[in-house]
Amino acid sequence: MTLHAYRYTRILGMVLTPVVMLTITILSLTPGENLSSTTWYPLIGDKGAHALAYTALGCFLQFALSGRHVPTSFTSMLKENGWRVPLVLGISIVLGTIIEIVQPFFGRSFEMLDIVAEVVGTLVGILFALISMGIALSLEGRGGLHGDTDN
């Protein structure tokens, strides 16, 4: 049984992960005074912006790296994708750390708390992705989503 929603999450991740990475890089290297004047920035603050951006990255990267085969249960999905969690977290930490190291060349400053916010955001994104994939599987199990048969 194939599950379209489960497979679409992988495609969604493959498409949106580079977009999110590029957006994070551009916004992280934009001088801070340009960002603080936007209307949304004061609402969530610097650390909230880091966490939110990396939540999106963690979610879409987990989707992109999810297994090709549709698991039969939530447990099998976790087994198949569980080893990918450290990979997603590692990619996120490397990206965030490189950006933090480079920021002083663009009029920004290196802040260790930004990396902490990015790690927390990534973990939230990974959790959201795994729960979303689990919901897609449970809906299929109840007949809520229709797939085609692979034989």
What digits encode the pLDDT tens for the residues 3-62?
A: 577 778 889 999 999 999 999 999 899 876 655 555 555 567 888 989 999 999 999 999
For the entire predicted model, the pTM comes to: 0.82
Q: Is 71 left (phi over 0), alpha (psi -120 to 50) or beta?
A: beta
Whether 9 contacts 133, CB under 8 Å: yes
Q: How many domains does the chain have?
A: 1
Distances (CA, A) of 127 to 20, 71, 81, 107, 148: 18, 17, 12, 34, 28
Higher pLDDT, 55 or 149: 55
Q: DSSP secondary-structure letter at 30? A: S
Domain that holds residue 9: 4-30+47-141
Instruction: Decide: 117 and 99 in contact? Cβ < 8 Å.
Output: no
Q: Give the pLDDT score at 148.
A: 44
Q: How confident is the model at residue 2 (pLDDT cuts 50, 70, 90)?
A: very low
Asked whether residue 37 is assigned to any structural domain, the reply reads: no
Structure confidence by residue, pLDDT tens digits, 85-131 = 999 999 999 999 999 999 999 988 899 999 999 999 999 999 999 98
Q: What does the pLDDT read at residue 128?
A: 95
DSSP string, 82-101: HTHHHHHHHHHHHHHHHHHH
Q: Is residue 110 part of a domain?
A: yes
Rounded-to-integer distance, Cα 24 and Cα 30, Å? 10
Establish if 148 belongs to a structural domain.
Answer: no
CA distance 101 to 109: 8
How much is the pLDDT for 145? 46
149 lies in a domain? no
- The mean pLDDT value for 58-83 works out to 85
Is residue 88 a part of any domain in this protein? yes
